Amino acid sequence: MKIVTFTDKNDDEKYGIGALVSEKEIVDLTPLISNEGLSASRISACFDLDKSVFADNNLGGRSLPRLNRNEIKLCAPVPRPGKIVCIGLNYRDHAEESGMEIPKSPVVFSKFSSCAVGLNDAIVLPEGSEQVDFEAELAFVIGRRAKNISRDDAMDYVFGYTNFNDVSARDFQFADGQWQRGKSCDTFAPMGEFVATKDEIADPHNLQIQFRLNGETLQNSNTKQLIFKIPELIEFLSSSITLEPGDVIATGTPPGVGFARKPPLFMKDGDIAEVEIEGLGILSNRVKSQNQLRQRMV
């Protein structure tokens, strides 16, 4: 299934969750969970494979509402993850273009959960930054509580996969000497448009991954180039961190990011940023400056 999260266009406080069954139609699964809608934070619990309404992949025979996607607003598929964990320098060529040694173990950092946004939401350029960069990434969503999990068992803890853009304010990141602020500005974790359940993707380690800026392809690689693959990441992370359903793990970006280009290339107001991964659709976001948003609000 392709799982989406949505709100009514006139009520962005009440969330629903559904299955994208065609380009235009969504089966609303919310009534299986709640008759009153869901909060952003409660969505994460829906990804628990041990309790999930998605465990039965057959929707046939169920009397569930069907929605036209034009009538609702798609959100980040996990609108308020408990954790967003990111892996740095996880493509060999990206480490080389960054002038960094190939890591001997995963390089781990995080983003605040409040920076999650979805399809067609704005990436907002923060005041004081002139070097906002893009990073196309494959992310996976945790589907079971995971602690001290071996790589041999790790895939049993994956719910599914989604597109992710690890947006980064490089001037903040490099000035601070650590990555938290530069990686966690509001809107800096676009993801979606959907989470494809694990059965939808035959091999997550052999997927074409691309980033386009205003239609120009700037990153073009394959997840087979990952240094640390998903089972290794789950083993490594769960040895010290308890992973929980709905946590989002972004696996790193391939070569072609803006700061490593000659000359460097950063996103600006009005740009269209697109992440496309084989089998996961296209995540598209327009870039907007704080000033432009203020002018629209006046």
Is the CA virtual torsion 52, 56, 61, 66 positive or negative? Answer: positive
Pairwise CA distance, residues 134 & 52, whole Å: 33
pLDDT over 90 at 2, yes or no: yes
Check: CB of residue 119 under 8 Å from CB of residue 5: no
Domain boundaries, the chain: 2-74, 84-297
pLDDT at 62: 67
Q: What is the phi/psi pair of residue 233, to 5°?
A: -65, -45
Query: What is the pLDDT averaged over residues 8-34?
Result: 90
Q: What residues are paired with 219 via a beta bridge?
A: 211
Query: What is the pLDDT averaged over residues 73-101?
Result: 90
DSSP at 61: T
pLDDT over 80 at 296, yes or no: no
Query: What is the pLDDT averaged over residues 239-254?
Result: 98
Q: What is the CATH number of domain 84-297?
A: 3.90.850.10
pLDDT at 94: 79
DSSP at 146: B
Check: CB of residue 123 under 8 Å from CB of residue 189: no
Q: Picking from 65-74, 186-195, 284-293, which range would have the lowest pLDDT averaged per residue?
A: 284-293
How many CA atoms lie within 13 Å of 46's alpha carbon, on the beta-carbon side? 30
> What is the reported pTM?
0.94
pLDDT at 1: 93
Provide DSSP, 263-283: S-----TT-EEEEEETTS-EE
Pairwise CA distance, residues 74 & 16, whole Å: 10
pLDDT at 60: 54
pLDDT band at 5 (very low <50, low <70, confident <90, very high): very high
